[in-house]
Amino acid sequence: MLKNPSEAIIFSKLYNVPPEDMLFLDFSLSGVKVKFPYARVRFKFIPENRPYFKISFQRNIKEYFFALPTNSFSIYQIENNYLKAGKEKIGKVESLSNDTCDFSYPRRRGTVLNLNPVSKSLCHGCKFCHTVIQDAKDREENLQVEAGLKEFIKNWLKKQQKPDLSHLIQVAIVTGCFGNEERLLSWLKMARKILNEFNFSGELFYYGSEITQKESLEEIEKLKPFGLCISLECFEKRTEILKFTKARLSIEDIKKILERAKKKGIRTNFSYILGIEPLKIINEGFRELAPYINSFPVINVFQLHQRQEDLRCKEALSIDYYIKARKMIEKIFEDKKITPRVWENYRSLWYLNFAKEQLTDIRTP
């Protein structure tokens, strides 16, 4: 990984990638040293005027958001409201807090609402998952029933000082598994009805692996605008790495589901954890899946926590792996006119540019 922040400029020239993207990738890979006893922290980040933030300053992008593992061996530390490498101040840190496992949180400056109606902190089984080490704050509300969901929305609107949900572009359901496709479907139908009662007309987005049946997609079609992100996560050793609910779907099954969903006018993509499989597998897998999606995949850089060391593949011990993966994936999607959305992912490979294209949009919650 990087020895110091200025090394981001060297890699940037070598690979024609913004130094900011190199540095932010390194935050994910290295984690951050903090005084708090938390496994993860999150914070708003305001860059200092440094040569490695030249593009960010030129484009007037002044705010980012990160959620990182804590690591006492990292070259990055947070001290007195600054993120530093040694004595060098990299940027200001605001709203530093424990990265707890929450039942709801905003994205895109409050225009996207994430809901986790089924506790993720109680969901176990995927080897890369960090919800087990996060402090749980996702068990107090009962979003699974109509009354609980309504109550939550009313309180949320009060806090946001908004009259209704018409300002939201998306409500995302990112959840520990429902355990039953029927239950998930009936919850999604209930959620669309309630959300619409509060004037929501945006996309209902489901991120998981529990929509599998042809009949379910017919039901989902009635809930459009709808986004389906299948939590694919890895191409090989699926039964070893993933929870049963995810592993039982083969790559062939996933292709079929995505194809059917796409034909029904549903936005489709998949999620992938980058850092556990060799580049060759990534290249083949992404090429195989690319025709089945109409939206850019959610590619999360694998952030290492304690006792997960064996999961990172050998190639991924060097930062070159991530740059090569980036270039490879850019090549696969360059003609498809789909790009990463900066508000969707705080541990991405792309922050300022995707190939030659500049990435815009709001980056903070």
Beta strands in 70-148 (DSSP E): 76-79, 82-85, 88-98, 101-102, 104-107, 112-115, 136-137
The region of 57-65, 91-99, 124-132, 211-219 touching ligand SF4 under the rule CB under 6 A is 124-132
Complex with ligand SF4: residue 176 or 275, whichever CB lies closer: 176
- Of 100, 131, 212, 213, which one interacts with ligand SF4 (CB under 6 A)? 131
The region of 17-25, 121-129, 155-163, 355-363 touching ligand SF4 under the rule CB under 6 A is 121-129
Residue 347 as a binder of ligand SF4 (CB under 6 A): the answer is no
- Of 17, 34, 129, 274, which one interacts with ligand SF4 (CB under 6 A)? 129
Residue 130 C-beta: closest distance to ligand SF4, Å = 8
Closest CA to 67 of 282, 301, 273, 362: 301
Residue 137 as a binder of ligand SF4 (CB under 6 A): the answer is no
User: Count of residues binding ligand SF4 (CB under 6 A)?
Assistant: 10
Residue 123 as a binder of ligand SF4 (CB under 6 A): the answer is yes
Closest CA to 344 of 332, 359, 331: 359
Instruction: Collapse the DSSP code of 191 into the 3-class scheme (helix H, G, I; strand E, B; otherwise coil) and give the result.
Output: helix
Residue 190 C-beta: closest distance to ligand SF4, Å = 22
Residues 175-204 contacting ligand SF4, CB under 6 A: 176-177
Report residue 330: phi and psi, to 5°.
Answer: -60, -40
- Of 125, 156, 213, 338, which one interacts with ligand SF4 (CB under 6 A)? 125
Residue 126 C-beta: closest distance to ligand SF4, Å = 3
The region of 61-69, 117-125, 139-147, 164-172 touching ligand SF4 under the rule CB under 6 A is 117-125
Complex with ligand SF4: residue 194 or 311, whichever CB lies closer: 311
- 157's CB contacts (< 8 A; 6+ apart) are 163, 164, 165, 198
- Residue 287's CB is within 10 A of a number of other CB atoms, namely 13
Complex with ligand SF4: residue 77 or 131, whichever CB lies closer: 131
Number of alpha carbons in the 13 Å side-chain half-sphere of residue 277: 23
Contact indicator for 87, 52 with CB cutoff of 8 Å? no
Number of alpha carbons in the 13 Å side-chain half-sphere of residue 45: 25
For residues 83 and 308, give the distance between their C-alpha atoms in angstroms, rounded to a whole number. Answer: 25
Query: E strand or H helix at 42, and its extent?
Result: strand 40-47
Give the distance, in angstroms, between the CA of residue 4 and the centroid of all CA atoms in the same chain. Answer: 26
Complex with ligand SF4: residue 125 or 225, whichever CB lies closer: 125
Residue 308 C-beta: closest distance to ligand SF4, Å = 12
The region of 79-87, 123-131, 187-195, 274-282 touching ligand SF4 under the rule CB under 6 A is 123-131
For residues 112 and 124, give the distance between their C-alpha atoms in angstroms, rounded to a whole number. Answer: 26
Reduced DSSP (H G I as helix, E B as strand, rest coil) percent helix, strand, coil of the chain, to 5: 35, 25, 45
Binding pattern to ligand SF4, positions 43-82, x when CB under 6 A? ----------------------------------------
Complex with ligand SF4: residue 18 or 208, whichever CB lies closer: 208
Residue 148 C-beta: closest distance to ligand SF4, Å = 20
The DSSP secondary-structure symbol of 163 reads: S
Residues 225-254 contacting ligand SF4, CB under 6 A: 243
Residue 14 C-beta: closest distance to ligand SF4, Å = 34
Give the distance, in angstroms, between the CA of residue 41 and the centroid of all CA atoms in the same chain. Answer: 15
Interface residue list for ligand SF4 (CB under 6 A): 120, 123-126, 129, 131, 176-177, 243
